[in-house]
Amino acid sequence: MLIIRCPYCEANRPEPEFRHAGAAHIVRPLDPSATTDAEWAEFLYHRDNPRGTVAERWRHIHGCGRFFNALRDTVSDRILSTYPAGQGRPE
Amino acid sequence: MVEIMVLPPARRMVLWGDTAVADRAGAAFGLALPHQPCRAVEAGTRAALWLGPGEWLLLGPDGDDPPLAPALADLPHSLVEISDGFAALALHGPGAARALSAGCPLDLHEAAFPVGMVTRTVLGRIGITLWRRAAAEWRLEVPRSHAAYAEDFLAEATRGMPGF
Ligand SMILES: [Zn+2]
């Protein structure tokens, strides 16, 4: 079981309390009707799938309920750090 | 030894707001709302439970009606009464943490889950709000339609435990 630190509860919590919620730092176009189909498809569907460190959204659904971001290594499944939503990706 | 009790109806309100809302609500409710994550405070028959950033569950006896709405009228906030949406169970006894651990993945040792801590978590297949009021005294807030499941789950968890 993964032990994940919730940046809002400020505590390490067990994996069953969390839900994965896709890639982090995807910016929604401010005016969707002004985008081309290709740009909208890029926003909705196209994601990188790298081997190594990824930034993801997670939700502490059975806890504080809040979305936050995590850096996770897709090879080891180790979560390197977690940080509040709205904060930029750490180095 | 574990005792499982269904608690009487209670007044439940969920408050969302910033620090100013919390301060104002605390004055009207008669106890300061906790700002530390996952902490509960109680005074008399009322309690305020931190559920998330800017989110509190306010508990009182059935029919309790603290003057929160007028106190918060000019501040942006959300105040929703959810009394009938939930049922409460109390769990007493030195085996209580062990019974909960049958279905809750949290570390319930007092060093990790001290008296006064509260959090939403899971119990078996349902979500609960778990509050440690004393070393061997727990209160569970359970969605009403899941209350029988929670009670049965805990009764089953205590079967065969020492002292039963
Ligand atoms: Zn949390």
Instruction: Write down the domain spans for chain A.
Output: 3-84
Asked if residue A56 lies in contact with residue A20, where contact means CB atoms within 8 angstroms, the answer is yes
Q: Residues whose CB is under 5 A from ligand 1 (ion)?
A: A 6, 8-9, 60, 63-64
Specify whether B70 is located in the same domain as B115. no
Residues B45 and B69 placed together within one structural domain of the fold: yes
The identity of residue B140, as a single letter, is L
Total domains, chain B: 2
Q: Does B37 touch chain A (CB under 8 A)?
A: yes
Confidence (pTM): 0.94
Q: Is residue B5 part of a domain?
A: no
Question: In angstroms, how far is CA B46 from the centroid of its own chain?
Answer: 12
Architecture of domain A3-84: 2-Layer Sandwich (3.30)
Express each pLDDT in B29-81 by its tens digit.
Answer: 999 999 999 999 999 999 999 999 999 999 999 999 999 999 999 999 999 99
Give the model confidence (pLDDT) of A12-43 as tens digits: 999 999 999 999 999 999 999 999 999 999 99
Distance in Å, CA A18 to ligand 1 centroid: 9
Is ipTM > 0.85 here?
A: yes
Residue B98 has pLDDT above 80, yes or no: yes
Helix (H) or strand (E) holding B127: strand B126-134
Q: From B69, B49, B55, select the one nearest B19 (Cα to Cα).
A: B55
Domain that holds residue B144: 85-158
Indicate if the alpha-carbon torsion angle B78, B79, B83, B84 is positive or negative: negative
Question: Using CA atoms, how far apart are residues B33 and B23, in angstroms rounded to an integer?
Answer: 7
**Shared-domain flag, residues B117 and B134:** yes
Q: Does B4 fall in a domain?
A: no
